[in-house]
Structure formats: structure tokens, C-alpha cells
């Protein structure tokens, strides 16, 4: 069953502010699409000079929640039609294990390794779309107040995916 579920989903590229033309890649009909819109994590491998470096499940959860609380202006639309009640899709993970590659961009010395993390944010599993071209537009922003880093910080994400869904015959 796990293999079947893995074969029936497509994970969208996580690009901050770009148009990603995936229309040449045909997503098979009947395939769900997973979107990670805006999210945050705290891990045991993050830079110790930042608040994101936490080793306990409780510490990781507190930091992930704190920064996910700064998410604003969340939006998702499919073919120009906005999804309703997008803030209802906030999810927090349990602590999970992961292996980071070297170089690891979130480490001051670039070293990866085995770590743990907790994530919090907005994730969508879209039901399979009809065959043909589609445009998925999503994003929002983190607005981090000056009390956190000394100055207010806005991190904006505005991503457009152009995709093509194939026919049932293209699954074979």
C-alpha cells in the first residue's frame, strides 16, 4: 500500500519566488499533488547561533510554532480559482529523524549528518486534477517582528507552477 501511495502523488518543487514551468513533464492522471506552501522547522543540525538549533522535541516544536505563527497573507489558487479557508491546513509534525547532506546550508561549517526536527506550516495534498494544462499559484510571507532579530524581516514566497496532467492512458 505504501508503494501505491508513493506512486500516486507528485511533490511540487519548493521555489521561493519564481515561475516553474513543469508543463513539459506530464504528471499522470489520478496523481495527487503535494504542496509545501509556507513552513518552518527547527532542528538539531541548525546553526547554534540561531534560535532554530534545538535538540529536544519540545524546543523544536516551540521554535517551529513561533515562526509559523509569523506566516501571513497565505494564498493558493488553481487555474485562477482561490482555495477557500487555506489557513485551516496548518500542520505540525512530530519530531522526525533526517540525514542532511554535506554541504549543509543551515550549518556554519557546512557539515551535514543525522539530526532531528519538528516542522510547522501549511501543506496541501491536492486531489488529482483533470487532464490538460494547469497553473498552480501559491505563497504568502513570513513577517518576523523586530523583537526577534533586531529589525523586522519579511520573507516573501510567490510561486507559480505550470503543469500538465496526462490521461489515464499515460499512466501505463
Rounded Cα–Cα distance for residues 164 and 31 (Å): 11
Lowest-confidence range among 1-10, 73-82, 107-116?
1-10
Q: Is the pLDDT of residue 98 over 80?
A: yes
pLDDT by residue (tens digit) across 33-73?
Answer: 999 999 999 999 999 989 999 999 999 999 999 999 999 99
* pLDDT score, position 1: 34
* pLDDT score, position 10: 56
* pLDDT score, position 122: 98
Q: What's the pTM value of the predicted model, to 2 decimals?
A: 0.81
Q: Is the pLDDT of residue 170 over 70?
A: no
Strand partners, 90: 122
* pLDDT score, position 3: 46
How large is the average pLDDT for residues 26-35? 91
Rounded Cα–Cα distance for residues 116 and 56 (Å): 8
Output the CA angle 66-71-75, nearest 5 degrees: 155
* pLDDT score, position 167: 78
* pLDDT score, position 60: 98
Mean pLDDT of the chain: 88
What total number of domains does the chain contain? 1
Question: What domain range is 155 assigned to?
Answer: 2-171
Phi/psi region, residue 152 (left: phi>0; alpha: psi -120 to 50; beta: rest), is beta
Cis ω for the linkage preceding 103 (within 30 of 0): yes
Amino acid at each position: 500500500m505504501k508503494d501505491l501511495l508513493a506512486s500516486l502523488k507528485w511533490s511540487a518543487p519548493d521555489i521561493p519566488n519564481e515561475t516553474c514551468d513543469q508543463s513539459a513533464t506530464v504528471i499522470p492522471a489520478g496523481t495527487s499533488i503535494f504542496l509545501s506552501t509556507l513552513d518552518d522547522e527547527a532542528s538539531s543540525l541548525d546553526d547554534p547561533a540561531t534560535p532554530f538549533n534545538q535538540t529536544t522535541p519540545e524546543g523544536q516544536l516551540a521554535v517551529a510554532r513561533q515562526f509559523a505563527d509569523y506566516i501571513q497573507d497565505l494564498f493558493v489558487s488553481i487555474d485562477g480559482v482561490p482555495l477557500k479557508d487555506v489557513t485551516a491546513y496548518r500542520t505540525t509534525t512530530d519530531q522526525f529523524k533526517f540525514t542532511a547532506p554535506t554541504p549543509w546550508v543551515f550549518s556554519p561549517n557546512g557539515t551535514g549528518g543525522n539530526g532531528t526536527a519538528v516542522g510547522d506550516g501549511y501543506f496541501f495534498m491536492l486531489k488529482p486534477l483533470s487532464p490538460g494544462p494547469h497553473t498552480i499559484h501559491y505563497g504568502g510571507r513570513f513577517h518576523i517582528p523586530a523583537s526577534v532579530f533586531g529589525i523586522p524581516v519579511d520573507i516573501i514566497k510567490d510561486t507559480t507552477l505550470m503543469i500538465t496532467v496526462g490521461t489515464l492512458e499515460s499512466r501505463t
